[in-house]
Amino acid sequence: MQRRRLNILLITSILLVLACSGSQSAQPQATVAEAEKFIEETERLLARLSEKAARAAWVQANFITEDTEIIASQANQEYIEVLTRLASEVKRFDGLKLPPVLDRKFMLLKLNLFSLSDPKEREEVAKLGTSLEAEYGKGKACVDTGRLAGKCLPIGEVEQVMASSRDPEELKSVWTAWHAVGAPMRDKYTRFIQLQNKGAQELGFKDMGAMWRSRYDMPPAEFEAELERLWNQVRPLYESLHAYVRTRIQEQYGAQAVTEEGMIRADLLGNPWAQEWSNIYPLVSGGGGRPGYDLTAILKEKKIDELKMVRYGEDFFKSLGFAPLPQTFWERSLFVKPRDREVVCHASAWNLDFKDDLRLKMCIEIRDEDFITIHHELGHNFYQRAYNHLPILFQEGANDGFHEAIGDTVALAITPEYLHKVGLLTSIPRSDDTALLLRRALDKVAFLPFGLMIDQWRWKVMDGSLKPSDYNRGWWELREKYQGVTAPVARSEKDFDPGAKYHVPANVPYTRYFLAHILQFQFYRALCNEAGYKGPLHRCTFYDNKQAGEKLKAMLEMGASRPWPEALKAMTGETRIDAQALLDYFAPLKEWLDAQNAAANVMPGWNTRRTATAGGR
């Protein structure tokens, strides 16, 4: 996850500049020259003051104390004060015909603004935002039954248990204990959304969800239609995978694992949120083919530590022709969870000065999952540096899905052939391609509906169609509809299960991850073609191919300076996000899954439960 940099702090000097501009009614019609001057001054101030904002955010995330929480809250409040002033000042230029580059800068600036006219509400929303993220960071799963009774586990240890345990009662108890961290957030989150909506409405948007959906170079309704089109493209593949996994899970755990309607218990899928399922690969492989290697075991056997894992990620980008990460990256990043303090362990990539102060914040564990995540996060860092020559308003991805997709595109190239090239495998193992594809699908395909439903829920909350009294019911309706999973224990409105997922209390939009899981296959296919690869797509690695690296670098350097379809065309030759590359990648697996399901007389799909008492929701 990339840490957005314009969302924490700007300080008093920008307030003074804007305060000196005088009232809007007293000023004559603005000119293009005045608009250019306004944007130039704003960009200089944003660049200088946002660095201070990012440093405050970094300290708060890495040293969670009452003091740092107060400092971050004050920084948030000051930032919102500035955005409110900017929101008023920028209206002076509405309706003015501007050159295309300047017009795009104004558009991007407006989409990053926030407006609350009441100073007390600005203070309140700042405190709420900081408090919600801190509550998640401090959250622990306090288990009251089984071998873990009496232990309070941070999220990293929760993930370990959910990944490795095969005791359904233990999984249920740990899942329930972790999801309890959300309940205290419920009232704060309700108020936070009210204030977020009010701020968006003061800028002319229907609600904050509509504002979020306006960031994709198309009208919000058109963007929603695009999401539905993409979901319908990939849904048959997901449903085939779900049906196959459902059968294997039921063989392992019995009737308790699956509801009569065909939904899988969420705690049995190897992850606290059932968002990725690769940890249960040994259960669902059916005793058949194997990928031929265990990357976690290899890393441990070769004594690859946390720092060396990051070096492998850097080396991949270097092999494509990118410059090494700066020395300050290695000196200032967080790689290992400290023993002496609370930190937000959720992995994120940072650029604190809009130039070269790149950092990774991650509590790395020696496992294949984190090896992949490192490549994902470094994708953000190399993207951040590629566009650091641009004006600050263009220093973002073409859209936020692009930013999330870059590192994952590289991670797709972590094939047995790549692992052999870098010495982690002594030889390319004889392996079953179906096994390789199944393991990858348990991450990439299983994630798709989860990546979509988070913001589907949040947009309903923001537009008021889902009332606070129904937050948890609405959450599980969508999880059942899209994922075909259900809670292992009865849930009620005393619970607030969305709060147990970092991106909700941290207010990070999530549709970017759904888009990224489709875009990465488009990018990957384009880079494989550029590298001249001719074999099965899932076996391609473009490691050490400078031609592919130049193709990638050219797109990254565009940042947000052009609409995303132009950036997509520069990389792929296409102007529309499309799932066909993903479907082609997994085509051999889809054929195999359909055959397995037919042989077991299993029909893909499920029915949702919407009775008053079903599951306690």
Quick one: pLDDT at residue 122?
A: 85
User: Which tens digit of pLDDT belongs to each residue from 261-303?
Assistant: 999 999 999 999 999 999 999 999 875 556 678 899 999 999 9
Quick one: pLDDT at residue 27?
A: 57
Residues 56-62 have a mean pLDDT of: 88
Confidence of residue 42 (pLDDT cuts 50, 70, 90): confident
For residues 431 and 107, which has the higher predicted lDDT (pLDDT)? Answer: 107
Residues 510-520 have a mean pLDDT of: 97
Is residue 503 among the annotated active site residues? yes
Please state, in angstroms and rounded to a whole number, the distance separating the CA atoms of residues 402 and 564.
8
User: Which tens digit of pLDDT belongs to each residue from 142-173?
Assistant: 999 889 999 999 998 999 999 999 999 999 99
Torsion of CA 222, 226, 231, 237, to 10 degrees: 160
- 18's CB contacts (< 8 A; 6+ apart) are 82, 85, 86, 88, 89
Quick one: pLDDT at residue 294?
A: 87
Please state, in angstroms and rounded to a whole number, the distance separating the CA atoms of residues 307 and 112.
35
Question: How many CB atoms lie under 10 A from the CB of residue 77?
Answer: 19
Catalytic entry in 159, 377, 396, 404: 377
Q: Please determine, for residue 590, whether its predicted confidence score (pLDDT) is greater than 90.
A: yes
Q: Please determine, for residue 119, whether its predicted confidence score (pLDDT) is greater than 60.
A: yes
Cα angle 543, 549, 554 (rounded to 5 degrees) comes to 160
Quick one: pLDDT at residue 6?
A: 39
Confidence of residue 442 (pLDDT cuts 50, 70, 90): very high
Q: Please determine, for residue 15, whether its predicted confidence score (pLDDT) is greater than 70.
A: no
Burial of 22 (0-12, 13-18, 19+ CB in 10 A): exposed
Burial of 562 (0-12, 13-18, 19+ CB in 10 A): middle
Catalytic entry in 503, 517, 530, 538: 503
Q: Please determine, for residue 2, whether its predicted confidence score (pLDDT) is greater than 60.
A: no
Rg (CA), the chain: 24
Where is average pLDDT lowest: 69-78, 101-110, 175-184, 266-275?
A: 69-78
Residues paired with residue 265 on neighbouring β-strands, in sequence order: 486
Residues paired with residue 152 on neighbouring β-strands, in sequence order: 142
Residues paired with residue 264 on neighbouring β-strands, in sequence order: 258, 485
Quick one: pLDDT at residue 28?
A: 66
Quick one: pLDDT at residue 9?
A: 31
Quick one: pLDDT at residue 609?
A: 64
Cα angle 520, 522, 524 (rounded to 5 degrees) comes to 65
Quick one: pLDDT at residue 4?
A: 43
Residues 573-598 have a mean pLDDT of: 96
Structure tokens at 593: 């899954």
Quick one: pLDDT at residue 13?
A: 30
Quick one: pLDDT at residue 85?
A: 76
User: Which tens digit of pLDDT belongs to each residue from 301-335?
Assistant: 999 999 999 999 999 999 999 999 999 999 999 99
Q: Please determine, for residue 229, whether its predicted confidence score (pLDDT) is greater than 60.
A: yes
Q: How far is residue 225 from each of residues 228, 319, 574, measured CA to CA in Å?
A: 5, 39, 19
Quick one: pLDDT at residue 56?
A: 86
Question: How many CB atoms lie under 10 A from the CB of residue 178?
Answer: 27
User: Which tens digit of pLDDT belongs to each residue from 391-432?
Assistant: 999 999 999 999 999 999 999 999 989 999 999 999 887 767
Q: How far is residue 246 from each of residues 70, 252, 292, 403, 479, measured CA to CA in Å?
A: 47, 10, 24, 33, 16
Is residue 377 among the annotated active site residues? yes
Confidence of residue 24 (pLDDT cuts 50, 70, 90): very low
Among candidate residues 232, 210, 107, 113, the one with its CA nearest the CA of residue 564: 107
- 50's CB contacts (< 8 A; 6+ apart) are 5, 6, 8, 9, 10, 354, 392
Structure tokens at 558: 């565009």
Map residue 579 onto helix, strand or coil. Answer: coil
Where is average pLDDT lowest: 20-24, 66-70, 562-566, 577-581?
A: 20-24
Amino acid letter, 392:
I
For residues 83 and 515, which has the higher predicted lDDT (pLDDT)? Answer: 515
Q: Please determine, for residue 518, whether its predicted confidence score (pLDDT) is greater than 50.
A: yes
Quick one: pLDDT at residue 90?
A: 86
Q: Please determine, for residue 22, whether its predicted confidence score (pLDDT) is greater than 60.
A: no
Q: Where are the domains of the chain?
A: 12-134+188-218, 302-434+511-591
Give the end-to-end CA distance of the chain in Å, rounded to a whole number. 31
Please state, in angstroms and rounded to a whole number, the distance separating the CA atoms of residues 258 and 254.
8
Map residue 142 onto helix, strand or coil. Answer: strand
Q: What average pLDDT does the structure give for the chain?
A: 89
Map residue 361 onto helix, strand or coil. Answer: strand
Among left, alpha and beta (phi > 0; psi -120 to 50; other), residue 306 is alpha
Where is average pLDDT lowest: 121-125, 437-441, 454-458?
A: 121-125
Q: Please determine, for residue 19, whether its predicted confidence score (pLDDT) is greater than 60.
A: no
Quick one: pLDDT at residue 48?
A: 76
User: Which tens digit of pLDDT belongs to each residue from 61-86?
Assistant: 888 888 888 887 777 677 667 767 77
Quick one: pLDDT at residue 16?
A: 29
For residues 381 and 91, which has the higher predicted lDDT (pLDDT)? Answer: 381
Quick one: pLDDT at residue 588?
A: 94
Residue environment code for 423-455, b if the CB has 16+ CB neighbours within 10 A, otherwise e: ebbeebeeeeebbbbbbbbbbbbbbbbbbbbbb
Quick one: pLDDT at residue 243?
A: 98
Scan for tokens 């984190």, then name that residue: 370
Quick one: pLDDT at residue 1?
A: 61
Q: Please determine, for residue 499, whether its predicted confidence score (pLDDT) is greater than 60.
A: yes
Quick one: pLDDT at residue 91?
A: 84
Instruction: Report how many helices (DSSP H) and strands (DSSP E) the chain contains, helices first.
Output: 24, 6
